Chains A and B, each alone.
Chain A
């Protein structure tokens, strides 16, 4: 098991956002967490990434606890979160953004090779390496954000709403890349509002509502479940 989250509780001040969440991700799997706005998806991911500290519960990555580690150490261990809203470095060039994704690494040659690899996944970025990230379109920024996350060569890639606000053709492109990564054996934890697309690509899924996991199962099971259908798949 690459990631095991047990009874996770997270608070914002006095407000409890997560009420004991448990889930796990096996190596090589693609797992999705679906849920509506404010259900606690991003909170869960930010806690795994070390930006939020859990009140209670345990996060185990490859068998060891990461819940007290600072964010940069968690990246070094092999978890990379591509945050909601892209959050690329807008005044840095595309190339610098990618280099920052590899800031924990020291293998310069491999880093250069990985820049090429990321550019092969997102050819749109190729001609824009020296352009400031902030001048890219929304779709290109999302590609850059995913590319930047890949630059740490994560064992576990976490994507938070990668298709949010993108035109359908770009959504396809992003999901194609996720499919490629999945086929290459990358473990992916995917949070999406676009539950249909998420369940198409994922092996398993969890449904989260107001800070609790309310349902879990294989994607096939969730897709055919009536409750999931009416709440997240538009009936």
Chain B
């Protein structure tokens, strides 16, 4: 394979991985910008979505129906999570809600071990899609292509939603000033629930794409992506939604090209590389790429 073709394939691969990170990170960022809550249980929504899709598919639902229903289940789980775990703590210290999110992680992951068993299960429901797409002499993974196109469409819709709709503007207003947004009459619960719902839908979708990439699912599968999404959020500037997207793609590219460009011996250090990147960013530019204003605002 020529080096150009190799580079191009890695480029698509990075775009695809970055897309998934972006989808996960948006949910994290939306909730954080409104509630100052880093919801580490966000990754478990990917897990719940993936298991739901697989179970519904195994129960005999057509694959697309199973996917839609599974993603919806992820979204609804997000709403339930907010209602049961975070709303009762509304207004308490950020440390309390952060610790609560860890508790939710433990609860959901152990619940999943209990219900689905601790073992890894094959996740091949998208295998009917032809593995590769030939573009001239290039072979592109079709799942990667779908991931990229779908994510771009979602990102554009999200941007329009946040920019143009009353609910989207309300979200930005609440992120700007919680007190003032209540005083002008923004229905706070509706905005918070919407943020959880949208973020959780995206997490469910990201879970599907992530699981299809990995070809397997397991109860603790949400841990790595949510920590990566956390890194992506830090890269982009925590709480900023454009920052979440940029951070997701930066991380996807950094990770893929770290593996692609270094000798094979280093490939096992992929995750270590990501967390070294996190440490460096926290040292050099803790506000992230787009976070400068946000940090000022918060102090």
Query: Which chain A residues have a beta carbon within 8 Å of chain B's beta carbons?
Result: 49-51, 70-72, 74-76, 80-83, 87-92, 96, 99-101, 103-104, 148-149, 151-152
Contact = CB atoms under 8 A, between A and B. Distances in A.
Most chain A CB neighbours (cut-off 10 Å) among B172, B176, B183, B186: B183
Contact of A96 (B169, B175, B177, B293): B169
Nearest to B182: A71
A100 B186 contact: yes
Majority SS at the chain B contact face: helix
B184 A91 contact: no
A112 to B, nearest CB: 14
A74 to B, nearest CB: 8
Interface in B164-223: 166, 169-170, 172-173, 175-177, 179-188
A156 to B, nearest CB: 13
Query: Which of A72, A81, A87, A148 has its CB near the most chain B CB atoms (within 10 A)?
Result: A72
User: Most A CB atoms within 10 A — which of B166, B184, B187?
Assistant: B184
B192 to A, nearest CB: 12
B173 A71 contact: no
9 contacts: A72-B188, A83-B183, A91-B293, A92-B172, A100-B169, A100-B184, A103-B184, A104-B185, A148-B184
Interface of B: 166, 169-170, 172-173, 175-177, 179-188, 293, 297
A106 to B, nearest CB: 10
Nearest to B186: A103
B183 A49 contact: yes
A148 to B, nearest CB: 6
Contacts of B169: 92, 96, 99-100
Give the 7 A-B CB pairs with smallest separation, nearest first: A75-B185, A87-B180, A71-B182, A104-B185, A89-B176, A72-B185, A72-B187
